[in-house]
Structure 1
């Protein structure tokens, strides 16, 4: 998934280019997602902090943009191109496609529920609680599951999930070591 001006590249082709040291992989997922699994030598700048961290990137380098599936990479391409970055390519299908293709991925020994499962659990528990309260206590509690449904609709249609951003900031989701300190494909 890309913007109309940003090309995509299959994971295998991106792997070959990066192995030769020709490109920089920029991972724009959250810290917890990056800590769970990431590509060796990738540069990590979460999308929500990208605009404030542009000075950490070299606009003359060619950047391959990576997220979970492609939507955040497309948003990152939009931000970067608005700030003078011209050599941008989205890794088609994100890290999920990279891993499905049998390409190397580093996994953390630290076990935390994946962020999307945390989101699903929170929404499920709140929707169930709101529904039960609406049935047994007061029908006005039906507002809670309706609110959650609206939030899911927004997240599904835009790729932006406020609950995921909130959960990513929780103490159990903070990575033990800083993610971006030693991550770069540059020689």
Structure 2
């Protein structure tokens, strides 16, 4: 008991607990469903589990270039289209850079969507990887 009450030992114990938590954080967050998904994992999920890309950019940007077979549901209209999105398939949200889709992801999770992720890097990452684009 004297070990825990000593001021120096208390700091050592606190530092050990914090550093242990920091070491565990990446493996714990990786196991969570959803969040950001790498391009290769997204393509595999689409192909193997018949998932769907949901592009949350405005319609003008979607028409200028989008992932083939993706569906456009602009962020502003997301709440009104929640009922038309499949809950039994993986959904991969796409935006321009991979940042704005996180808000859509949080919104869909509130509506009970468990299998939803955002494409890491967004459409920019898709293009940089040399993947095909569809233009309307």
Common topology (TM > 0.5): yes
Partner of 1:101: 129
- Displacement after TM superposition at 1:21 (Å): 5.1
- Displacement after TM superposition at 1:46 (Å): 0.3
Contact 1:38–1:107 at 8 Å: present in 2 too? yes
* Residue 30, structure 1, aligned to residue 58, structure 2: yes
* Residue 49, structure 1, aligned to residue 84, structure 2: no
* Residue 16, structure 1, aligned to residue 47, structure 2: no
- After TM superposition, the structure 1 = structure 2 runs for residues 28-177 of structure 1, keeping only pairs within 5 Å, are 28-108=56-136
CA distance in 2, matches of 1:102, 1:15: 13
Aligned-residue CA RMSD (Å): 1.7
Structure 1 unaligned regions, length at least 5: 109-187
CA distance in 2, matches of 1:63, 1:82: 15
- Displacement after TM superposition at 1:83 (Å): 0.8
CA distance in 2, matches of 1:71, 1:54: 20
CA distance in 2, matches of 1:45, 1:56: 10
- Decide which structure has the larger Cα Rg and report it: 2
Aligned residues: 105
Partner SS state of residue 89, structure 1: strand
- Displacement after TM superposition at 1:13 (Å): 2.5
- Displacement after TM superposition at 1:49 (Å): 0.4
Cα gap change, 1:20 to 1:105, in 2 (>3 Å): farther
TM-score by structure 2 length? 0.70
TM-score by structure 1 length? 0.52
Structure 2 unaligned regions, length at least 5: 1-28
